[in-house]
Structure 1
């Protein structure tokens, strides 16, 4: 699944020096294309949101929102994001689905097994230099027009997250479409930006302040990825 042409040394050096790196051509092209097709055509998406305030939709089923309901939800999250951590995008919980036997035959189940195989875990340890990595979490993510994920650092009290990763599966993404992975200094200054280039791996040390900028209303397609953390526990 990983490209046979990948050279680890320069990417490892940059990751260790800067705490983040984007690796082009991460997967074999056929694998990237198959995953893109799956995300675009086969996944049963649900809307994922985070806010400390009540949703305007109450306990509505977030799998079956119509466009009007979803726009209402976005507007609510925009208001909340002024003062708190908030986000809205679509997700597929890959680990839970694999564990619970949902959607038999979905290629994402193969990805979960691969990411937690001995071979990939050894690859993750070699790339990051962290020999304590023991597992990889994963969700599929789809950012549509108006979706966003505001500033946070990925630190979690109940998980030992060593590195966050994003396998980008959007084709010919333009910077003015938004959906950019932005890294921030303490003073809110954006110090580096990763455009979600096709078949690239974005990888960065946790904790680290970052955000996904709002996907613009003129974006020609959705922003697809598989994302999660390399974890020690």
Structure 2
């Protein structure tokens, strides 16, 4: 039986980028704890497949396909979701990666990265927060990264976006806590996801990562569920503006 502190029964939570990887795992974890999860992605095919898988597990989910970087689409879609019932929580998970040496990094990829990783957090966060502010309650979790704290070669722009997400989280909490909102960030370390498929397949990189990480391994996306449930539950009622690293200890060790 779920502790009342972590029980999400009756709560409606929107998860962006929920059709695969971390977003899919977080949606599953929240649904397992009783939440009605609204799954978002751009592709209706992958979104419907994820929804069907979760419904087959007996979970309560619905879908909302829209582009989180499009201001008009975000406003329209959030309004439509709220018409079916108020949102109690939001997970800003949609994101992308593009690796290249900084001196050769294409401007179009820089702009796309910031639109996907930062603009979307602002747009969806703002749209959802307006309803939460009116209701004087709500939980928002932005997905940051160990790269909010660290850097490594070929991902400087990604590091910049995730640093922005970490500080935007602090700003959201500072502005909205007085209205009854909790806004925090969840910062995964290196997890086996489609976004990291090339790194997982690189034997040299995996060996380096396992040596660099105190836990000695890649993370499994299921290991992020508990942290997300905590941040979106009553257990985190006085936790605000924080970044929770779930990284096997990599940010704690040199």
So what's the TM-score if we normalise by structure 2? 0.29
Larger relative CO (CA 8 A, sep 6+): 1 or 2?
1
Quick check: which one's strand share is greater?
1
Quick check: which one's helix share is greater?
2
